[in-house]
Each structure stands twice: as structure tokens, then as C-alpha cells.
Amino acid sequence: MRILVTGAAGFIGSHTAERLKSVGHDVIGLDNFNGYYSLELKRLNAKALLEKGIDIITKDLRDLDLAETLPKNINYIFHFAAQPGISLTSTFEDYFENNIIATKNLVDYALQCDDFKLFVNIGTSSIYGLEATFPESVAPEPASHYGVTKLAAEQLVLQKSREEQMSACSLRLYSVIGPRERPEKMYTKLIDLGLKGEAFPLFEGSDKHLRSFTYVGDIVDGVVSVIGNESKVNGEIINLGTEVEHTTKEGIEAVEQILGKSIALNVIPKRPGDQSRTKANIDKARRLLNYNPQTILLEAVKKQVEWYKANF
């Protein structure tokens, strides 16, 4: 199959592109290489993909000429590209343009592809709101511009499934960690500052937050398993993540254990819209995709520390 992966130079997108290529698919990556975070990391990810025979097209999904510039013989789209996370430096316009307008343009392009089989939207547990412990049938209550715009993007994609114009699904991911995690995310920052002997900025009260920290390899297992299950997943929203919960404090302790050193903490004011608890309800993923994440927290952190030391 010929597959387009958007956000292919990013964290989860790059891992997914590699996996799809490894099982024999013809994979094309797409990324706009914006400066939201380190271009050095994005280029490192892109280099790894190129070495495996995956080309990345530099393109912004907000452009209106996707159908004229991208190939039409695409069978699947895995849509990772987005304005990510809850950031005080990102404006509502950033989220709106990169999550809603960009997704609408990509959907319009997908409708013009020949022999198109499935549009896989990558959603987020932030869609649920301040607590994300629910099955997919629960009404979303997003508490951030990120969550609101990702919900809108998800519905833009699923609208076309309801109209029977194309097959589509949305996968809501939970607290993904592992090699290539973005620099501003918790584990990469903990590892970096821990190795440097510098203090980690901890949002007030967040040490008690509960998270489904899920290893990126387990997430990719679920993402790629939709291939061959198109009739099962069409029109569906599916949670992907681990059911095992850890506090942020336990996550910090896991990094300290792997590094063999303590990490100083610098408590800073709370961040608006931050979730207090995420626990992936994956009953539906088990039923439809036989999904069963296995990687424990310490193993995931060890792999991330090894990757960081090898590359930085």
C-alpha cells in the first residue's frame, strides 16, 4: 500500500513511518519543519527515515494547493501533523490554523485520491478534558485550545465517514513517551536537565497528576493495526494507551533511577488546562484491534535515556 504520514519528522509520526516501511508499505512523509521546537531534532528524525528509504516532502498543510503538489495514488493517510500540546507560547490562531484549517485541507485532498482506503486521524486524550478516564462514547469536555481544536479536527474527518465520502477513524492517544519525544515534554526535559545537573521546572501540584505514560512502540502497534481492519474502524473513535497509571512524581523517580542520580525540582505556577488524570480506557481497542500494550514505565524510560545519550 502507498501511505502518506503527515508530521513525519515528529515524535510519533517518525516511528509510525518507520514501522509501516518495515512491514513492506510504500511510505511518503510530509512535514513543514516549523520552528515550534528544535529543528535539529526534526532533521535527526528525517535523516533516520531517509536512511530507511522514506522521503519527506516539505509542505505546509495550510497551503491550498495540496491536490496539485501531492501524489494522488495514496491509499492511506496517517495524520499526525498538528500544533501540539498545551503551550503558553502558542496562540489560539496557531491551534486553529494548524489543527483545523490544515486538517480540512488534508481531507479535501484525500477525497481526490485514487483507490483511497482509510484516513487515520491522530487525536488526543486532551479532547476529553481535565480528566481522561472515559470510554469513547462519553461527551468531550476539552479544557484547552489544543483540546478544542483537536476535537474539531477529529469531527471534520469523521464527518466524511458519516457522509460516506471516505472511510475514516480517529485514534485518541494517551501520554506517549520514548525516543524522539519533543524537547519540551516531561521525560526529555527530565533526562536533559538531570544529565546537566540542573533543576526541573515542576508545575505546582502536578507531581500528584496521574498519567497513562505509554511507550511509543505500544502506541505504534495500535496505530498500524487499523490496516486490514478498515470495515471495523470506519467511523470510529478509538483510545490507544496503557491502563497502568503513574503519578508525575513516579515518572520523575523512574528517570532518577535510570540515571542513577537525583533531580532537583523548581516549582512554578500551575499551567491552565493541564489534565489532572489520564487513564486509557482501551476496551474498544482490544475488541476491534486486539490491542494490548505491554511496555512498563522503567523499560520505556530506559530506552528513552539510551536514545538521548546516543544523540545528544
Q: What is the CATH number of the domain that holds 196?
A: 3.90.25.10
State whether 170 and 225 are in the same domain.
yes
State whether 135 and 204 are in the same domain.
no
Q: How many helices (H) and strands (E) does the chain have?
A: 12, 15
The amino acid that residue 193 corresponds to is L
Instruction: Give residue 104's pLDDT.
Output: 98
In angstroms, the CA 109 to CA 195 distance is: 45
Q: Is 84 a domain residue?
A: yes
- pTM of the complete model: 0.96
Q: Is 162 a domain residue?
A: yes
CATH number of the domain residue 168 falls in: 3.40.50.720
Q: Is 31 a domain residue?
A: yes
In DSSP terms, which residues pair with 75 in a beta bridge? none
Q: Is 152 a domain residue?
A: yes
Q: Is 181 a domain residue?
A: no
Hey, which residues are catalytic here? 146
CA distances from residue 229 to 13, 118, 119, 167, 288 in whole angstroms, order as listed: 20, 10, 12, 11, 8
Instruction: Give residue 87's pLDDT.
Output: 76
Instruction: Give residue 86's pLDDT.
Output: 79
Q: Is 200 a domain residue?
A: yes
In angstroms, the CA 234 to CA 89 distance is: 36
The amino acid that residue 131 corresponds to is E
Gyration radius (Cα) of the chain, Å: 19
Series of mean pLDDT values for 10-residue runs along the chain (312 residues): 98 98 98 91 97 97 96 98 86 97 98 98 97 97 96 98 98 98 96 97 94 98 98 98 97 98 94 89 98 98 98 93
Q: What is the number of domains present in the chain?
A: 2
State whether 201 and 133 are in the same domain.
no
State whether 117 and 192 are in the same domain.
no
Instruction: Give residue 271's pLDDT.
Output: 82
Instruction: Give residue 38's pLDDT.
Output: 84
State whether 11 and 124 are in the same domain.
yes
Instruction: Give residue 88's pLDDT.
Output: 73
User: What is the residue range of 273's domain?
Assistant: 186-209+244-278+299-311
State whether 253 and 118 are in the same domain.
no
